[in-house]
Structure 1
Amino acid sequence: MNAQRVLYTDPAWLVADGRQDLSLATVERDVLGDGVELLTAPHEDGRYVLTDDRLLERAAGADALVVYRCQVTDALLDAAGDGLRVVVRQGVGVDNLNAGLLAERGLPGFNVPDYCVDEVAVHTSALALALERHVVPQHVTLTGGTFDIYAGGAPRRVSRRTLGIVGFGRIGRAVARKLGTFYGQVLVYDPYIGRDLAEGYGARTVDTLEELLAESDLVTLHCPLTPGTEGLIGEAELRTMKSDAFLVNAARGKLIDPEALGKALDEGTIAGAGLDVFAPENPNQDPRWKPVLDHPHSVFTSHRAFLSEEAEASSRRRVAELVRDALAGDPALLAGRVGRVLPDGAAR
């Protein structure tokens, strides 16, 4: 009997010092066993190659696909062939899983929506508080040789300010619990929840995004990327915000129009931004992000809000277990799994 083939398209945890090391796949081999052949996309110059035929060649005959930041496409599924049993996203977001396409093919898709809730909530809080306390201009000024307690301006008293949370799923609620303790009021906008839910987290639901933007002193985004949320924050929304308000995004880069944000920061429409996510993944590859990155009172990180040793270990094991159970061919093993992705792109 031939070994079952599992393609991990772009696993970051198998790269050390810029080079891929397959011996690091200890968790996957422990869970999947010796009867499974583990493959990855080609890795060159410190990056996985996801844009040419070599990826499709690696996918040929795959029984399972595990994607990280690789996009699921017709070509990728065609390359895998009729033996493909399951597609899993090694992460929270589902936009690159292409749920509608999987539904057309009759393929189950899964994500891992809750492995890094604490990490993202803490990272969001770190970005927010760095903005509130003007940590970046203080750091730059002091390391540049000048001691000045007023560099960046005098911070405001946060307990008299309002936090606005857009999207009140697992992470939005954790942010309300953690970051919300610093603020005098927490507002929530999420059209898919009941009005009373937010009150259980010490927050108040508002009816429109415009209302939340107009009333909040710091706005943080925690909604999924869908056709309805792409470009959610554009020029009109930024004009609705207070001129001394901050914007934080540790969700998906395409939620924000980069040109509109750069203009808003340059003109002082808002006071600053704290971003962990961009589109493209590396904002230095797109000149539209340069005015944003150049803003002196903003703070940026390289899409790592999800990251901790514990979260990465949990994600790897849970994904491998999903793959193992799917390859076992017993539907009962997958029944009730958290993270099943539906055709509309929602996760259940």
Structure 2
Amino acid sequence: MNAHTVTYTDPPWLVADGRFDAGRATVEHEVLGGDVDLRFGPHADGRYRIDCPELLERVAGSEILVVYRCQVTPELLDAAGDQLRGIVRQGVGIDNLNVPLLTERGLFGYHVPDYCVDEVAAHTASLGLALERRLIPQHQTLKSGSFAIYAGGTPNRISRRTLGIVGFGRIGRAVAAKLSAFYGQVLVYDPHVGRDLPEGYRAKAVDTLAELLQRSHTVTLHCPLNQETEQMIGADQLRLMRPDAYLLNAARGKLIDPVALGKALNEGWIAGAGLDVFFPENPHDDSRWQPVLEHPATVVTSHRAFLSEDAEASSRRRVAELVRDRLAGRTPTVGLLCDEAVRK
């Protein structure tokens, strides 16, 4: 009889070409060993069912849950039962982890805060440079049969433009390190870091978001999602931006008001946008995003800034190692958000 039960609610790496294959969980079985009953959440048509009664039945008896997109709710924790010890998020963002609830219940919570820093920074740079150099309209024009140097308009000299970074954590700093080679100036707004820190990344801190928006030619968001940052970019903020400025978001979709962004694009408040994240996850599920998706001055990707073979392999192994260590009574510190010893 297995000593421990661990449930992965919605592991994306088990779905390939729309087909679920439990045999792909090789890393997890290798790290966790044979004394762990490894379960996976319900799925249908190549998608996990993370909001159905069957999921609640599947997690019953679990000691640890590993979540990806699945929301941590009181119902999920109740369904797991009294032997539940905590939750591990297979990713960086923690808005679905519900840390206050875990703390209230006396459960530990972990995420993997740094496994894809290089990937997200490179993807952000790719979105920004594609907009700056007007690559998408050039690509579409030439592929459609026309050779037109000026299709999409004439780019600006990037070395004379200013990059503005909102949020200067791990990824914001990596973006500064990569893009400072292109932009003539890099500005940073982050009320949670000291004014001197950006200087080490060839950047300069500003005191307000408004100042950064007004001065920057490209603005990139690298903030966590919380009450302070939700829809931090709305109509008022977009009106502060330059008409030749671009907005990038590879952080969290809820940082931007989609209606305001669509209006800003259509009315020329800004020159374009590069987006990897939306809310809901699939922007086609919310008609408010359609003006943004359809606008010719947008570059969009399907929440894959984090993705590479190396990053995925690292994430899977590190999560499995976290689960293994916690089952063995050890307390790793990297990624620890709350611990079962901390109780209200």
**Contact between 1:186 and 1:204, CA under 8 Å: does it hold in 2?**
yes
Mapped pair 1:64 → 2:61: no
Distance 1:85 1:193, change over 3 A: same
Deviation per CA, 1:129-168: give whole Å up to 9, x if none: 0000001111111111111010010000000000000000
**Contact between 2:188 and 2:203, CA under 8 Å: does it hold in 1?**
yes
Alignment partners' CA distance in 2, 1:60 and 1:8 = 12
Q: What is the TM-score when the length of structure 2 is the normalising length?
A: 0.97
Deviant stretches of 4+, over 3 Å: none
**Contact between 1:86 and 1:323, CA under 8 Å: does it hold in 2?**
no
Mapped pair 1:341 → 2:337: yes
Where does structure 1 lack aligned partners over 5 or more consecutive residues? Answer: 344-348
Residue 342 of structure 2 aligns with which residue? Answer: none
Residue 254 of structure 2 aligns with which residue? Answer: 254
User: Partner amino acid for 1:181?
Assistant: A
Alignment partners' CA distance in 2, 1:3 and 1:47 = 30
**Contact between 2:229 and 2:255, CA under 8 Å: does it hold in 1?**
yes
**Contact between 2:185 and 2:203, CA under 8 Å: does it hold in 1?**
yes
State the identity as a percent. Answer: 70
Alignment partners' CA distance in 2, 1:156 and 1:241 = 17
Mapped pair 1:270 → 2:250: no
**Contact between 1:8 and 1:66, CA under 8 Å: does it hold in 2?**
yes
Where does structure 2 lack aligned partners over 5 or more consecutive residues? Answer: 340-344
Alignment partners' CA distance in 2, 1:129 and 1:139 = 14
Residue 117 of structure 1 aligns with which residue? Answer: 117
Alignment partners' CA distance in 2, 1:128 and 1:339 = 29
Alignment partners' CA distance in 1, 2:80 and 2:51 = 16
Alignment partners' CA distance in 1, 2:331 and 2:201 = 32
Residue 15 of structure 1 aligns with which residue? Answer: 15
Matched residue SS, 1:95: coil
Residue 53 of structure 1 aligns with which residue? Answer: 53
How far 1:94 sits from its partner (Å)? 0.5
1:194-233 superposed matches below 5 A = 194-233=194-233
Alignment partners' CA distance in 2, 1:50 and 1:121 = 29
Matched residue SS, 2:149: coil
Q: What is the TM-score when the length of structure 1 is the normalising length?
A: 0.96
Alignment partners' CA distance in 2, 1:72 and 1:124 = 28
User: Partner amino acid for 2:124?
Assistant: T
How far 1:222 sits from its partner (Å)? 0.3
Q: Give the RMSD, CA atoms, in angstroms.
A: 0.9
Mapped pair 1:328 → 2:328: yes
Alignment partners' CA distance in 2, 1:301 and 1:2 = 42
Matched residue SS, 2:243: coil
User: Partner amino acid for 1:72?
Assistant: V
**Contact between 1:94 and 1:341, CA under 8 Å: does it hold in 2?**
no
Matched residue SS, 1:313: helix
How far 1:2 sits from its partner (Å)? 4.0
Mapped pair 1:108 → 2:104: no
How far 1:342 sits from its partner (Å)? 4.4
Residue 243 of structure 1 aligns with which residue? Answer: 243
Alignment partners' CA distance in 2, 1:102 and 1:60 = 17
How far 1:110 sits from its partner (Å)? 0.5
How far 1:297 sits from its partner (Å)? 1.7
Mapped pair 1:288 → 2:288: yes
Residue 77 of structure 1 aligns with which residue? Answer: 77
**Contact between 1:99 and 1:109, CA under 8 Å: does it hold in 2?**
yes
**Contact between 2:107 and 2:338, CA under 8 Å: does it hold in 1?**
no
Number of paired residues?
339
Alignment partners' CA distance in 2, 1:59 and 1:28 = 17
User: Partner amino acid for 1:311?
Assistant: A
User: Partner amino acid for 2:117?
Assistant: V
Alignment partners' CA distance in 1, 2:295 and 2:338 = 39
User: Partner amino acid for 1:110?
Assistant: Y
1:117-136 superposed matches below 5 A = 117-136=117-136
User: Partner amino acid for 2:299?
Assistant: V
Residue 97 of structure 1 aligns with which residue? Answer: 97
Alignment partners' CA distance in 2, 1:164 and 1:20 = 41
**Contact between 1:86 and 1:326, CA under 8 Å: does it hold in 2?**
no
Matched residue SS, 1:242: coil
